[in-house]
Structure 1
Amino acid sequence: MFPIRDHNPSGRTPFITYLLIAANVLIFLSYWDLLNYPRDLMIFYDHYALIPARPSLGSYLTSMFLHGGILHLLGNMLFLWIFGDNLEDEMGHGGFALFYLASGVAAGLVHVMLSPGSTVPTVGASGAIAGVMGGYLLLFPRARVDVLLIIIILIRVISVPAWAMLLLWFGLQLLGAAGSDPDTGGVAYSAHAGGFVVGAVFALPVWLKRGGPAFWNRTHGAPPHPVARYDRSSIPRVRRKRGHIPPVHRRK
């Protein structure tokens, strides 16, 4: 299940969100070629990635702008694109920049505390973006989010409330953290879960400034402005064709 857009337009141009996306893409492109040279890539990560067994102060920040591959980058930027503009709208440009960086650093701290002996380099903006998602849940729990739902051969775009999509995502991170080994690499679930919780906490002042529970009562958890209307989104089912399928050779 992948979010593709929300129905929550921002009231101002999200310059910081655009700047963060551009920075992540440009930094990734700057070391793109190292992906073909694992030894050189690990030397690069040794300097700039967050390594829980020996974290450095700077690595909490630099690791937030590194990614392990193109899909890793694109997935993170998609989530930032969907949810970042609305928090920037509520917090202001400077406030959102501080919120984003603080969420990413806090997510890194949670990961280090829960994986203190791991020597696996940790990279990615997902801890900070998880903070954005936690803040979004607090401010707009009933905003509508269109998600691409894929179940075997059934492919559909459906609209769900933000709380359902975000809490499901958070639950999957908790399950992943409980079943993962930090010494074997993979997804840093603890950073995701920690960033999500921290983001909700960091967004509390904005929520309280808007009225806290009164803000929810006034808006019913939906965006406090007219929602975006889109044409019906539907991807047709792809049915398996009957008949003989000739064999093919697949490159390993």
Structure 2
Amino acid sequence: MALPLYDNQPTRRAPLVTYLLIAANVVVFLLSPVASIGHQNETDGQRKCEQVTFLLKYGAIPKEMVDNRAEPMPAEVAEACHPKPFHKRPWLSALSSMFLHGGVAHILGNMVYLFVFGAATEDRLGRLRFLVFYLLVGYIAAYGFALTYPGSLTPLVGASGAIAGVLGSHLVLYPRSRTITLVLSFIPFRLPSWVLLAQFFVLQWFSLGDQSQTAYVAHIYGFVAGMICGLLVRRGGFARKSAALSWQ
């Protein structure tokens, strides 16, 4: 898998929303039990309980989203952790899950892709439209995953679905851009962006049978939704006027 470092598509102004989204993801991760900051004095069992209950509370659980009803705490978690009761709105969990990550590698990979490819899409759409677009494709990815696995009780977490939407839109809006990429993790190489983005989509597609916990289906839904939004933007032609209508 190639790692992008820089995209040569010029922008007219600083991508403030992209930076704010990255900052929000990092802050939420550092404050969450998953990062273990401030939990050094806890036992491994206590830390594990906090992590599990946190993800069950704020993660997007497919069965809850499809039924629009919170599921009871799994018996084994209730017995081992004795969590405090909480109220959960499943449709809001699709939003909160976009800012949760399962580990350092998970958040670093997502934020690198958002940093490299988010700026140009934000510049094309305008700041407010980009934020709406980002959240929209994130919701589509989450609910697409839920409808594909309606009985799943495993929490879906991560910004990958929304970021896949950004990648899909970039592929459509800037098919001729070029990206400096690390190939084999250490060889810098200049590639057409469409090669890297197409590789991303193909890898998601061929990984669907993988038994890992990665939500490849959510990535595919997000990527396709981003492409469709990109096509609508190109056809509508309104994005070039967005600077006068969006956040300044």
TM-score scaled by length of structure 2: 0.79
Q: Distance in 1 between matches of 2:130 and 2:231?
A: 13
The within-5 A match list for 1:136-175 is 136-150=170-184, 155-175=186-206
Q: Does 1:7 align with 2:40?
A: no
Q: Distance in 2 between matches of 1:40 and 1:137?
A: 39
SS at match of 1:33: coil
SS at match of 1:165: helix
The within-5 A match list for 1:191-230 is 191-210=218-237
Give the corresponding residue for 1:180.
210
Q: For residues 177-211 of structure 1, give each alpha carbon's deviation from its aligned partner in whole angstroms, at most 9, with x where no partner exists.
A: 1x134xxx511000001100001112222211339
| Percent pairwise identity | 41
Mean Cα displacement is larger for which, 72-81 or 110-119?
110-119
Mean Cα displacement is larger for which, 46-55 or 31-40?
31-40
Q: Considering only CA atoms, is the larger Rg found in Structure 1 or Structure 2?
A: 1
1:85 to partner: Cα distance: 0.6
Q: Gaps spanning 5+ residues in structure 2: where?
A: 66-89, 241-248
Q: Distance in 1 between matches of 2:162 and 2:36?
A: 25
1:142 to partner: Cα distance: 1.6
SS at match of 1:12: coil
1:120 to partner: Cα distance: 1.2
Give the corresponding residue for 1:71.
105
Mean Cα displacement is larger for which, 5-14 or 191-200?
5-14
Give the corresponding residue for 1:85.
119
Q: Distance in 2 between matches of 1:141 and 1:113?
A: 31
Q: Distance in 1 between matches of 2:112 and 2:8?
A: 15
Q: Distance in 2 between matches of 1:116 and 1:175?
A: 22
What is the aligned residue count? 206
Name the aligned partner's letter for residue 60 of structure 2.
Answer: L
Give the corresponding residue for 1:33.
36
Q: Distance in 2 between matches of 1:160 and 1:70?
A: 27
Q: For residues 224-249 of structure 1, give each alpha carbon's deviation from its aligned partner in whole angstroms, at most 9, with x where no partner exists.
A: xxxxxxxxxxxxxxxxxxxxxxxxxx
Give the corresponding residue for 1:47.
57
SS at match of 1:120: coil
Q: Does 1:190 align with 2:221?
A: no
Q: Gaps spanning 5+ residues in structure 1: where?
A: 216-252
SS at match of 2:63: coil
Q: Moved runs in structure 1, 4+ residues, more than 4 A?
A: none
Q: For residues 123-150 of structure 1, give each alpha carbon's deviation from its aligned partner in whole angstroms, at most 9, with x where no partner exists.
A: 0001000000000000111200111111
Q: Does 1:134 align with 2:165?
A: no
Q: CA RMSD in A?
A: 2.0
1:83 to partner: Cα distance: 0.5
Q: Distance in 2 between matches of 1:82 and 1:23?
A: 17
Q: Distance in 2 between matches of 1:210 and 1:148?
A: 34
TM-score scaled by length of structure 1: 0.78
